Amino acid sequence: MILGWAADAASMAISGIVITLADPGDATSLIPQLSSQPEVTVGEQRGRRLALVLEVADGHDEAAVDRIRLLPGVVDVSIAAIHFLEPLPSPF
């Protein structure tokens, strides 16, 4: 993702997210769904909570969180941290 980031690309928003599941077993179907999205990295599950990292172009983070919020079994989405990266100017 970031390795192929072009210098003329938009700023990136990297968000640490914790989703709360209706039932811990919901992760069985939810994790493959989330893992198939290139902007999502699935972290550790603890009970009903599942950690995610979301990497999207700045301005698209809210829509991505809304898509996650609408997935079956998700009852809450909490933003733990957001970091914004600006593209570096090209040295050439």
Tokens 């989330």 locate to 34
Q: Output the tens digit of pLDDT for each of the chain's 92 residues.
A: 444 444 445 688 899 999 999 999 999 999 999 999 999 999 999 999 999 999 998 777 888 899 999 999 999 999 999 988 877 676 66
Rounded-to-integer distance, Cα 15 and Cα 26, Å: 22
What's the number of domains the chain is made of?
Answer: 1
What residues are paired with 42 via a beta bridge? Answer: 52
Would residue 6 count as lying in a domain? Answer: no
89 burial (CB, 10 Å; 0-12 / 13-18 / 19+) is exposed
Residue 90 domain-assigned (yes or no):
no
Q: Which domain holds residue 54?
A: 18-85
Q: pTM score, two decimals?
A: 0.80
Phi and psi for 91 in degrees, rounded to 5? -75, -5
Could you tell me the two tokens for 6?
């072009």
92 assigned to some structural domain? no
Domain assignment of residue 62, yes or no: yes
In a domain, 12, yes or no: no
